[in-house]
Amino acid sequence: MYDALTSRYTFACPSAGESRVVLSAFRTIEPLAGTSHPVVYRVRFACPCGDEHDGLVSHDELDWAPLGLDGGVFLNLMTSRVEPVATELAEIAAARIKAGEWPWSFFCYPEERPRPVSPSSFLLLTPGRRALGLAIRCPACRRTSVNVVSHEHVDVPFHNDREVGVVEHVFAEDVLATVEEFQAELWSSRFDARRLALE
Ligand SMILES: [Zn+2]
Ligand SMILES: [Zn+2]
């Protein structure tokens, strides 16, 4: 499902058979009703074929696979052998997290502070001309904030934009129910730049 080498998720596509997309191609992420442990997420993604489709992703694939904690192999150029990627990437990821770096972060508007986050807390992603509007349910206060970020901020673990745009608006609990309204509001809102440094 997730390929750590290309940072892409594989989903079924009705016209192409299969498509491979990055995390920032996801449009909505919601826990599937009736699944608890482990939670399965229904994602809607923008497919290269031009349509949007639904796919299912496990919690591990969403939050851990991009860190290399979910298997896969890579070609070791030093030994010319194909080797499992998990341990190596996992060690790097663990060391960086211990050093205080976090793979993903966002600015919580109700709390007025940056917070670490995982992709399973992303609710909605909506592309603008260059940036990406990202609605996040804060893992700490459970309220929804909207940040305007680069694609890399989402797609590349440990790449955190130094500053993100913060929409100065407390969004309704059920932001997913009003996707179109949300998109219209997002790109007409005023953003304020906030620094994302996590202490
Ligand atoms: Zn497609
Ligand atoms: Zn918060």
Q: In a structure prediction context, what are the per-residue pLDDT tens digits for the chain, which is 199 residues long?
A: 888 778 899 999 999 999 999 999 999 999 988 777 778 999 999 999 999 999 999 988 898 888 876 555 555 566 666 666 666 777 788 888 888 889 999 999 999 999 999 999 999 999 887 789 999 999 999 999 989 999 999 999 999 999 999 988 777 666 666 677 777 777 776 777 788 766 4
The number of the ligand nearest the C-alpha atom of 51 reads 1
The number of the ligand nearest the C-alpha atom of 136 reads 2
The number of the ligand nearest the C-alpha atom of 44 reads 1
Radius of gyration of the chain (CA): 17
DSSP strand pairing (105-108 vs 2-3)? unpaired
Q: How far is the CA of 110 from the centre of ligand 2 (A)?
A: 6
Q: How far is the CA of 140 from the centre of ligand 1 (A)?
A: 35
C-alpha angle 67/140/145, rounded to 5°? 85
Q: Specify the amino acid at residue 178.
A: T
What are the φ/ψ torsions at residue 152 (nearest 5 degrees)? -65, -35
What are the φ/ψ torsions at residue 114 (nearest 5 degrees)? -70, 150
d(CA 3, CA 10): 8
d(CA 89, CA 85): 6
Q: How far is the CA of 30 from the centre of ligand 2 (A)?
A: 19
> What pLDDT shows up at residue 130?
79
The number of the ligand nearest the C-alpha atom of 113 reads 2
Q: Which of 185, 198, 195, 143 is nearest to 164 (CA)?
A: 195
Q: How far is the CA of 45 from the centre of ligand 1 (A)?
A: 9
> What pLDDT shows up at residue 81?
66
